[in-house]
Every structure is written in structure tokens, then in C-alpha cells.
Amino acid sequence: MTRTILASLFAPLLLAGSSTPTVVAKLGTGGSSPCGAAQLGRYLYVANYGSGTLARIDPKTNRVVRVIKVGLGPCGVVAGGGSLWVENFTGGTIAKVDPGRLRVVKRIRVGLKPWDVSYGFGSVWSSNFGNGTVSRIDARTLRVTKTIYTGGSPACIRTGVGSVWVGSQGTDDIYRIDPATNKVTPITIGKGGSVCVDPHDDGVWVSDESAGLVSRVDPATNKVVATITVSGAPADGVRGPDGMEWIPSQTPTGIYRIDPATNKVVSIVKATQHPFVVRNGFGDVWVDNFNGRGLWRIHVG
């Protein structure tokens, strides 16, 4: 998707399926266009793309307790090695944040327009949307140790199931990187919009933005074994605490809860005008409103 900043309104919650998702809080994030989020210690941290900030939220009160400047266009944020790592899409850097002092201790120059960041295998991984590469950063020395060419326009990036997985906007493929060799294996999904990935032992879930599809890839064979139709433009999802795969869709808005046991949509949650990223934290699901200033906390029970 094109990251633009628009106005927003909250939408009502639509409930379906056997479980009951309940909005337990609607909160601000101390900035505009909230995007990625990560839990570390006692707090949830949210990157505000429009404001260039990182917000610390106390889940006990659902209030922002501190906001710091981290760069230009931050979206992806991940916890790893006792630190927070924040991608700056416009600034071309990955910021390392010390959570104790809540300050940026290093900005690491990576490729053009880093879309997302992940942590695993002793490294920090940046997907560089603007030049078709992934930067591998040594988490100890904070140096880029390898620039890996994938092609396409790398988007969401995750580590899991022994590999690094990279989505790509506008291409038919996702990319699987072997962290032992840095070798890239393209996996064809189709339809030219496999933007986001969420790897698990039961499958790698791929959001195909342009086709309105969610594909399930078998990590043992690298083959698509299921395709689920959703409406609109599915984006950056997560495996929820309820065991369902939560996939946000931007147009029309809604979060699709998919049962991995059946590959079926069990409910659609209508939350915020423009849900782009869904994340876990403190036993709940957190959904951003990328076109506004809001964050919804949803409990399933």
C-alpha cells in the first residue's frame, strides 16, 4: 500500500463465530498514523508513522506514558535481544532503542525505504522496499553484515520456522531466506500482491493485497496448500491468542479471523477505519488505525 496520512473515524464491532471479540479499550498513541507495535517488559510500544515517534503504553491503564522521536516514517517495530528495533521508512534507517532509558542509541543505515524489521538468528533484518534487498544487521556490533538481493519490492518481514520470510508488493512471489547461508528461495503465490507474511509451523500465511486473498504455504514444500478469499486489501496479520489467524483488510475495513484447522473465516471484526497492522500483546489483540490516531485493544473470550 501507499503510506499516506488521512483522517479517520472509528467503526462499530461486528461479531460472528463461536468466540466473542470484545473491544476493551480505544486509546490514542500520542501521534498520528499508528502502525506497528511490540510488547517488551511491562509496556506496549507503538510506532507513529505520521509523527516519527515511538509511544510507550501502559497496558494496566491503556494510557501513553511517554513518547520519543525515533526517525522519519517509523512503522515496523520488534523486540529482540533486550532492545527495541524500529524501522524508519522515509529515513532509511533501523533505530535501536534502549527500553530502560527509552532513547535511541543507534540509527543503522540500511537500504532504500525499509518497510519492516524483524529479529531472529542473532540478527536484525530489514526489508528494503525501495531497492529490492534485505539488510542483515549483527545485533551485537550493529553493523550490516550482508545485503541480500531478493528483487521485487520487499514489504513485511518475519522470522520463523527456521527461516526469514519476506513479502513483496506488486510481485507474484514471497522470499524465503536461509539464515545459515543467506540464500534466497522465491515462492510463487500469484496475483502480484503478496505483501505480508506470518510464519508458523502449520503454515506461512500470506496476505495478497491486490487479489483479496490469504494464501497458506506449507513450509516443508514451499507450496500453496490453501487459498482463502477475503474482501478488500488484506495486510499485516498475526496469530491471535485465540489460535486464529487475524488478517486486517483495509478496503473495506475489517479483520478476518481464520481458523487454521479448517482454513475458513470464522468471523469478521470491524475495528477502526483503516486497520493496517494487527499485533499481540498482554493476552489481547491490538489494531492500529493507520489513517488516524487511534489504537483498539480487543479481547477474545
- For range 205-213, the mean pLDDT: 90
pLDDT attached to residue 192: 62
What is the C-alpha separation between 34 and 14, in angstroms, rounded? 22
pLDDT attached to residue 73: 97
Write out 197-259 in H/E/C secondary structure. EEEECCEEEEEECCCCEEEEEECCCCEEEEEEECCCCECECEECCCCCEEEEEECCEEEEEEE
Q: What three-state secondary structure class fits 120?
A: strand
Q: Tens of pLDDT along 50-93?
A: 999 999 999 999 999 999 999 999 999 999 999 999 999 999 99
- Residue 185's closest CA among 194, 173, 176, 193? 176
pLDDT attached to residue 200: 98
pLDDT attached to residue 270: 87
pLDDT for 9 beyond 50? no
| pLDDT top residue among 15 and 22 | 22
Q: Tens of pLDDT along 99-132?
A: 999 999 999 999 999 999 999 999 999 999 999 9
> What CATH architecture does domain 32-240 belong to?
7 Propeller (2.130)
- Residue 206's closest CA among 172, 252, 241, 253? 172
| Predicted TM-score (pTM) of this structure | 0.92
Q: Tens of pLDDT along 223-274?
A: 999 999 998 889 999 999 999 999 999 877 789 999 999 999 999 998 777 8
- For range 194-222, the mean pLDDT: 94
Across the chain, what does the average pLDDT equal?
A: 91
Residue 195 confidence class, pLDDT cut points 50, 70, 90: confident
pLDDT for 154 beyond 80? yes
pLDDT for 1 beyond 70? no
pLDDT attached to residue 155: 96
Cell of 241: 491468542
- For range 200-213, the mean pLDDT: 93
Burial zone of 220 (CB within 10 Å; 0-12 exposed, 13-18 middle, 19+ buried)? exposed
pLDDT attached to residue 8: 31
pLDDT attached to residue 15: 37
Name the residue with cell 505483501.
Answer: 195
